[in-house]
Amino acid sequence: MNITVIGTGYVGLVTGACLADAGNSVFCLDVDERKIASLRQGKIPIFEPGLEPIVQRNAAAGRLQFSTDVAASVAHGELQLIAVGTPPGEDGSADMQYVLAAARSIGKHMQSYKVVATKSTVPVGTADKVKETIDLELQKRAARIDFSVVSNPEFLKEGAALEDFMRPDRVIIGAEDERAIALLRQLYAPFQRNRERILIMSVRSAELTKYAANAMLATRISFMNEIANMAEAIGADVEEVRRGIGADPRIGYQFLYAGAGFGGSCFPKDVKALCKSAAEAGQPLHVLAAVEEVNEAQKHVLGKKIRKRLGDSLAGKCIALWGLAFKANTDDMREAASLVLISDLAAAGARIRAYDPAAGAEARKLFEKNKSIEIVESAAAALEGADALAVITEWQEFRSPDFAAIKAKLKIPAIFDGRNLYDPKVLREQGFEYFPIGRRT
């Protein structure tokens, strides 16, 4: 099948590469000439385990091409997948300018039937706006060409995106047109051979499903963070509580980990956008408003613990920081808890020596003019001259470190753990002061 993917960001690149790997001919379009030039050389602009060899293999085989040629991209694919960014506006709503620009380009250049599918996370009603935009462009050139607009939201986890795409939990298709549904069934057939994973629903239900899924996961995280803070105040242990409630099959264990707050390109943005959409519809989401409020407060918890132990003024103090990305297996620092912690520590006068296995290059650009933070090349290097250690990202290499070596380098044997990676008893036996989130120490 000939497929066009509009946008070569995280969703677009993973989608294009995986569809090409299934044998399709995929045309990836982006207006960023530098990014396209880099992709043509086999260089991947994002960190995603396993993605680079799939892109290189399919590009070499001729199944995956990258271009800035809009007209060629529209001509190529009967199926046009819109996977552009929808960044948050100042009021929290999703910015739809790139989605509608893609729709205008399709309407301007299409010469035959197209199925236009939005994979970007978009507010309910976006498909209607995309259809109106394409219709307007066709009217401008007095063209009468059939097309369908459907919703086909992505459910990719950063760090596990290839597995999520190749073996999806579900494939949501929001459509009323049988011809479009048949085309999408054909597209996803290779990814659901052992059982049916496709769920057909109305376009608006599909658009809402994506937002509701992310909002539910964000709610679980904020709920556990509130329980963790309460557990700490009354002498309970949130890890024991997690196991106790997770054993209930109605609840389960997923997304029940307390920590320093959620970040990334999805949860914070989508919670804000869903709250905004609900308010505009006259149905404010009070629970989600609290989820956002709790999350913002939680990002300050680790900094408060550090100042409580080392003093409100951290002038002359150096904090080793393990982790910068919002979670492991990605270099994405958008809305990361590390950014809030670094800001809090720097405001109190501290210096920070930070290390992240993947996000170092991004962090150097971000903190280029910040004299308070130094990005180093290893976890051990971050400990040099440090008074204490803070852990903010749950990378595998941080899970079982050499505690004796850590203790030998720190001026104060104190670990502030924003992801509850360690056993309080083990650290106590090794002579550490241990400050996790909601654990009994």
CA-based nearest residue to 275, from 265, 288, 264, 262: 288
> Is residue 266 annotated as a catalytic residue, yes or no?
yes
Question: Sheet of 318-322: strands edge to edge?
Answer: 373-375, 351-355, 318-322, 388-391, 414-417, 433-435
Could you give the CA distance from residue 70 to residue 82 in angstroms, rounded to a whole number?
A: 13
Whether 105 and 29 have beta carbons less than 8 Å apart is answered as no
Own/partner long-range contacts of 341-346 (Cβ < 8 Å, ≥24 apart): 341/260, 341/299, 341/302, 341/303, 341/390, 341/392, 341/418, 342/367, 342/372, 342/373, 344/300, 344/303, 344/304, 344/307, 345/303, 345/306, 345/314, 345/319, 345/372, 346/370, 346/372, 346/373
307 vs 317: CA distance, rounded Å? 11
Q: What residue has token string 């085309």?
A: 183
- From 28, 266, 275, 318, active-site residue: 266
| Residue whose entry in the numeric block shows the structure tokens 């109106």 | 132
Catalytic residues: 266
